[in-house]
């Protein structure tokens, strides 16, 4: 519309100039023709200038209004975004948060599973619950600082993989001067086979007086390398244990506890029928699948 206004003003000016030149030629008077042309041209120029000025003023006012509205919207968005991204949740808030939503928690490192390509996987917990932090952005130097009990603030997205609820695509910062917390193992033996067990997901837990079962049907082996026996020394160890007639599969996660650890050696030395106590993290994979960090003979 603005371009059409400008074109109309210029067209009118050109038309008036042409008409005046024609009149001057017909009268045969150079002064009369020149005077008429200059007057018309001046009037046309003033009209064009006024139209252009009004147009410019309208454009300036519109641009200013748009800029103010944009600034107000931007300020409102920044305030809302800042509050959403910085507010630390309680464990109850975290549990209630929908999947794929952004979460912010303060928690304490309990164990480190792995670091590679500037990403860390951590088992963390506070006095109310536990959080499995998967592949958080982390430098090697910062990874070295994450000793058990270190307080960290984690920002990421709540996700689920085969039943395991975790914080993904996360960043974290070490809370300087923060307090320390290392969880004692919570005995959840009596919760095996119940719906309540998942409420303790990712916590540091213990299991008491369980019986070692064959790792595979028709086998006397007490463990397998990998879930299907396809692995070798250094891979995950899978073994079966039972309580009250129900059998469960537990794991020594090789990234968490490699082949040089005491628990790795202890599981390799198990025999079917052994009674054992265990500690580890209540990981979930298509059902309960604890990542065991300690195995001892049952008391």
* Domain layout of the chain by residue ranges: 2-75, 91-174, 186-297
Say how far apart CA 23 and CA 158 lie, in whole Å.
83
Residues 6+ apart with CB under 8 A from 20: 33, 36, 37, 39, 40, 41
Q: Locate tokens 């984690």: which residue?
A: 154
Q: What is the pTM of this model?
A: 0.72
CB 24 within 8 A of CB 30: yes
pLDDT value of position 299:
86
110, exposed or middle or buried, with CB in 10 Å at 0-12, 13-18, 19+? buried
pLDDT value of position 86:
75
CB 216 within 8 A of CB 196: no
Say how far apart CA 276 and CA 258 lie, in whole Å.
20
pLDDT value of position 203:
98
45, exposed or middle or buried, with CB in 10 Å at 0-12, 13-18, 19+? middle
Architecture in CATH of 91-174: Beta Barrel (2.40)
- Catalogue the E-assigned strands of the chain: 102-116, 119-125, 130-137, 151-161, 164-174, 186-187, 204-213, 224-225, 237-243, 246-252, 275-281, 291-297
pLDDT digits 0-9 by tens, 224-262? 999 999 999 999 999 999 999 999 999 999 999 999 999
Stated as kind and residue range, the H or E segment containing 42 is: helix 30-86
Q: For the chain, which ranges sit under pLDDT 50?
A: 1-84
CB 124 within 8 A of CB 131: yes
Say how far apart CA 151 and CA 173 lie, in whole Å.
9
pLDDT value of position 218:
87
Architecture in CATH of 186-297: Beta Barrel (2.40)
Say how far apart CA 156 and CA 103 lie, in whole Å.
6
Q: Locate tokens 């059902």: which residue?
A: 287
Nearest by Cα to 135 from 16, 15, 255: 255
- Find the distance separating the first CA and the last CA of the chain, reported in whole Å: 89
Asked if the domains 91-174 and 186-297 are classified in one and the same CATH topology, the answer is yes
Say how far apart CA 201 and CA 129 lie, in whole Å.
8
CA angle at residue 254 from 253 to 258, to 5 degrees? 130
pLDDT value of position 85:
54
């Amino acid at each position: 519309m603005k371009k059409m206004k400008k074109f109309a003003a210029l067209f009118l000016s050109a038309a008036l100039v042409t008409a005046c030149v024609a009149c001057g030629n017909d009268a045969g008077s150079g002064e009369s023709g020149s005077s008429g042309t200059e007057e018309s041209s001046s009037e046309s120029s003033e009209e064009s200038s006024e139209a252009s000025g009004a147009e410019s003023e309208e454009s300036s006012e519109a641009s200013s209004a748009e800029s103010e509205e944009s600034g107000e919207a931007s300020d409102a968005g920044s305030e809302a975004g800042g509050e959403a991204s910085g507010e630390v949740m309680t464990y109850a808030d975290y549990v209630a948060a929908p999947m794929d939503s952004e979460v912010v928690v303060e928690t304490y490192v309990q164990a480190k599973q792995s670091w590679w390509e500037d990403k860390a996987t951590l088992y963390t917990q506070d006095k109310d619950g536990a959080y499995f932090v998967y592949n958080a952005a982390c430098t090697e130097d910062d990874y070295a600082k994450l000793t058990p009990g270190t307080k960290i603030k984690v920002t990421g997205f709540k996700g689920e993989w085969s039943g395991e609820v975790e914080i993904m695509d996360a960043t974290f910062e070490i809370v300087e001067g923060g307090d320390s917390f290392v969880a004692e193992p919570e005995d959840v033996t009596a919760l095996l086979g119940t719906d309540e067990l998942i409420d303790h997901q990712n916590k540091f837990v213990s299991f008491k007086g369980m019986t070692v079962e064959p790792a595979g049907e028709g086998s006397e082996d007490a463990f397998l390398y990998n879930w299907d026996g396809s692995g070798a020394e250094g891979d995950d160890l899978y073994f079966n244990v039972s309580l009250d007639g129900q059998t469960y599969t537990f794991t020594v996660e090789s990234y968490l506890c490699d082949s040089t650890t005491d628990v790795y050696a202890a599981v390799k030395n198990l025999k079917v029928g052994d009674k054992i106590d265990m500690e580890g993290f209540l990981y979930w994979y298509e059902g309960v699948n604890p990542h065991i960090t300690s195995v001892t003979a049952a008391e």
